[in-house]
Amino acid sequence: MRIRLAPALLILALPHVAEAQTRVSRSLPLNPDGGVRIHALVGTVTVRGWDRDSVTIRGSLGAGNRLHAGGGRAGVKMFVESENDLSPAASTLEIMVPARAKLWIKTATADVRVAGVTGSIDVYVISGAIDITGRAADINAEAIDGTILIRGTPGWLRAKSASGAVSFWGTSRDVTLSTVSGRIVVDGDANPRGVFERGRFESVTGDISFRGGIERGADLRFDTHAGAVDVTLPQRGADLEVTTISGTIQNGASPARPLAGRYGRGAELKTTVGDGGAGVSIRTFRGAINIRRAK
Amino acid sequence: MSDNMMDDARLRALKAMADRLPREIEPPAEAWDAVRAQIERDGAAGRAPGDVAFWQRPGFLIAASLLLAAGSSTATFLALRDREARPGTVAQSAGPAPVAAAGTVSTLAQFSGKENDYLRRVNGLVAILESGNAALAPETILKVRESLAIIDAAILEARAALARDPANRELIEMLESTYEKKLDLLQRTTEMARS
């Protein structure tokens, strides 16, 4: 009986759900490099950069939610207030901002997408996916158990998750990616002309995979406790310093063979691949290390 | 606040300049004359062979070396504190003071003091999270606990390896790095939960 009633109850409830959604549309003036702060608890936040000096907010608010927005030409702030903070309804916001805006977004359980913003971007998500595309000057993206995907060529990039994966398709002069158990994937070939100059890639058990161009004089470090590390060096090579306490090293980038670890376990490898000139350090406790060289 | 990209660029520029310098240079011809004249002046002033200038005395040298070490540690601390600084931004003193600079200990015994500092900070942040002020969803708390358990397992594994091999610097650095990750996760979770 309960099973038969359920679809009927759902059908009866649908109009109320539809009614409960409130459409929102608002515009605010903002300087081209003004600040935008967005605070939304649950749902989806999509931000796009455009070449106008204004901000527009469109979308639908969940039942009992209210949008507050205000500010001046130097900065605008908006937040979604929920009737019930313990169980907030999901809202969907689509926000257009000046491309050079300084963007700051904080959510609880919400997916955040940003595209076409060339200013600075800060995104904090507890649980949800972060997806940022473009040539932002700098990006700081943090999640607790959400995934992070960055596509583009930010000048400076910091991305951290705990259990979520962190992926970067592009290059940056200065990048730090960190997870606990999430996988780290860096595909610099997405931007064939770009190079990495300073890179830190760290996890506890998450696997780390890297391929991309490396600037002469660069300093790249890979550090994990138990994750596997797979690094594809560029054709021009690098100066390698590889250590694993109890893992293994597979070197397919040069004829050099790893030596047994100084402490009787694990392995070490110190060698110059190709022309060298760029420092690449890889360290694991027990994660397997695989080094390749691009063809 | 400094940032690493700038520091690295400066460092590379400095290294390039240093590389261009000649390995050694001959002192100017008149330098020896000046040295000789100074020795003769000292002799005329009746300074005994054992006499040395105040800046050459052992006490002064020890004090100077201590000052140098303290200065170096401070510089390392500041450099590490500012490591994650965004280009062109000013440091924010969020959260408790950082644990002493990494890379300054080389044995398990030396690391113990630092480890106590880590544990004290970890306990403080765990207490905040468990106090109920942190309004996190139960499923998020579960995820955070899972991540902390993964980190704790790594700490235990590294700790056990270090107990067998107490002078292994690589292990000490790895252990420090894992503690830093635990602190970072707790700090981020606490900060996110506050708002």
Q: ipTM for the complex?
A: 0.86
Are B99 and B121 within 8 A, CB to CB? Answer: yes
Cβ-defined contact of A180 to B147 (cutoff 8 Å): yes
Cβ of B52: how many Cβ atoms within 10 Å? 12
Residue B169: per-residue pLDDT: 87
Phi, psi at B71, each rounded to 5°: -65, -40
Calculate how close chain A gets to B131, using CA atoms only, in Å.
17
Confidence at B7, pLDDT banded by 50, 70, 90: low
Mean per-residue pLDDT of chain B: 66
Give CA–CA dist A11/B142, Å, rounded. Answer: 34
Which amino acid, residue B121?
R
Cβ-defined contact of B137 to A109 (cutoff 8 Å): yes
Residues from chain A contacting residue B154 (CB–CB below 8 Å):
204-205, 225-226, 285
Residues from chain A contacting residue B195 (CB–CB below 8 Å):
39, 106
Give CA–CA dist B135/A111, Å, rounded. Answer: 19
Residues from chain B contacting residue A223 (CB–CB below 8 Å):
174, 177
Cβ-defined contact of A225 to B178 (cutoff 8 Å): yes
Are A164 and A179 within 8 A, CB to CB? Answer: yes
Cα dihedral B38, B43, B44, B48, rounded to 10, equals: 130
Pairing of strands A166-170, A214-224: unpaired
Confidence at B109, pLDDT banded by 50, 70, 90: confident
A205 and B CB contact within 8 Å: yes
Segment B156-178 shows an average pLDDT of 90
Distances (CA, A) of A158 to A176, A253, B85, B111, B139: 5, 28, 10, 29, 25
Confidence at B9, pLDDT banded by 50, 70, 90: low
Residue B17: per-residue pLDDT: 53
Structure tokens given for B162:
């270090």
If you count residue pairs, one on A and one on B, with CB atoms under 8 Å apart, how many are there? Answer: 107
How does DSSP assign B137-190, residue by residue?
-HHHHHHHHHHHHHHHHHHHHHHHHHHHSTT-HHHHHHHHHHHHHHHHHHHHHH
Give CA–CA dist A287/A247, Å, rounded. Answer: 5
Residue B80: per-residue pLDDT: 35
Mutate to test the interface with A, among B2, B3, B5 (most CBs of A within 10 A): B5
Query: In terms of pLDDT, which residue wins out, B194 or A251?
Result: A251
Residue B37: per-residue pLDDT: 59
Distances (CA, A) of B31 to A25, B22, B35, B37: 81, 19, 6, 10
Residue of A144, A226, A263 with shortest CB distance to B189: A144
Which amino acid, residue B155?
I
Are A103 and A86 within 8 A, CB to CB? Answer: no
Cα angle for residues B7, B12, B17 (degrees, 5° grid): 125
Segment B52-67 shows an average pLDDT of 44
Give CA–CA dist A138/A120, Å, rounded. Answer: 5
Q: How far is CA B70 from the centre of its chain?
A: 11
Cα angle for residues B148, A45, B137 (degrees, 5° grid): 35
Give CA–CA dist B109/A228, Å, rounded. Answer: 30
Calculate how close chain B gets to A20, using CA atoms only, in Å.
24
The residue of chain B nearest to residue A204, with distances taken between CA atoms, is: B151
Q: What is the pLDDT of residues B66-104, one digit of tens each?
A: 443 444 334 333 333 333 567 766 544 334 444 544 456
CB-count exposure of residue B36 (10 Å: 0-12, 13-18, 19+): exposed
Query: In terms of pLDDT, which residue wins out, A52 or B168?
Result: A52
Residue A14: per-residue pLDDT: 39
Residue A59 has pLDDT above 90, yes or no: yes
User: Which of A54-58, B30-34, B162-166, B181-185 is least confident?
Assistant: B30-34
Q: What is the pLDDT of residues A130-173, one digit of tens each?
A: 999 999 999 999 999 899 999 999 999 999 999 999 999 999 99
Which amino acid, residue A6?
A
Give CA–CA dist A205/A10, Å, rounded. Answer: 43
Mean per-residue pLDDT of chain A: 90
Residue B56: per-residue pLDDT: 45
Query: In terms of pLDDT, which residue wins out, A280 or B38?
Result: A280
Structure tokens given for A48:
């796009």
Residues from chain A contacting residue B152 (CB–CB below 8 Å):
none
Cβ of A263: how many Cβ atoms within 10 Å? 16
User: Which of A112-121, A214-223, B159-168 is least confident?
Assistant: B159-168
Structure tokens given for A230:
């797979």
A87 and B CB contact within 8 Å: no
Give the closest residue to B174 by CA, choosing from B160, B150, B155, B187. B155
Pairing of strands A66-71, A237-244: unpaired
Segment B178-187 shows an average pLDDT of 95
Structure tokens given for A59:
């979308």
Cβ-defined contact of B174 to A225 (cutoff 8 Å): yes
Phi, psi at B23, each rounded to 5°: -60, -45
Residue B43 has pLDDT above 60, yes or no: no
Are B148 and B129 within 8 A, CB to CB? Answer: no
A223 and B CB contact within 8 Å: yes
Residue A1 has pLDDT above 70, yes or no: no
Residues from chain B contacting residue A85 (CB–CB below 8 Å):
135
- Say how many residues make up chain B: 195
Residue A252 has pLDDT above 80, yes or no: yes
Q: What is the pLDDT of residues A84-139, one digit of tens each?
A: 777 788 999 999 999 999 999 999 889 999 999 999 999 999 999 999 999 999 99
Calculate how close chain B gets to A210, using CA atoms only, in Å.
20
Residue A53 has pLDDT above 70, yes or no: yes
Cβ of A38: how many Cβ atoms within 10 Å? 24
Q: What is the pLDDT of residues A176-200, one digit of tens each?
A: 999 999 999 999 988 888 899 999 9
Residue B111: per-residue pLDDT: 83
Residue A77 has pLDDT above 60, yes or no: yes
Residue of A39, A127, A204 with shortest CB distance to B181: A204
Pairing of strands A22-29, A54-61: antiparallel
Residue B6 in 3-state DSSP? helix
Residue of B8, B165, B184 with shortest CB distance to A263: B165
Cβ-defined contact of A138 to B86 (cutoff 8 Å): yes
Structure tokens given for A174:
């200065």
Cβ-defined contact of B150 to A205 (cutoff 8 Å): yes
DSSP category for residue B56: G
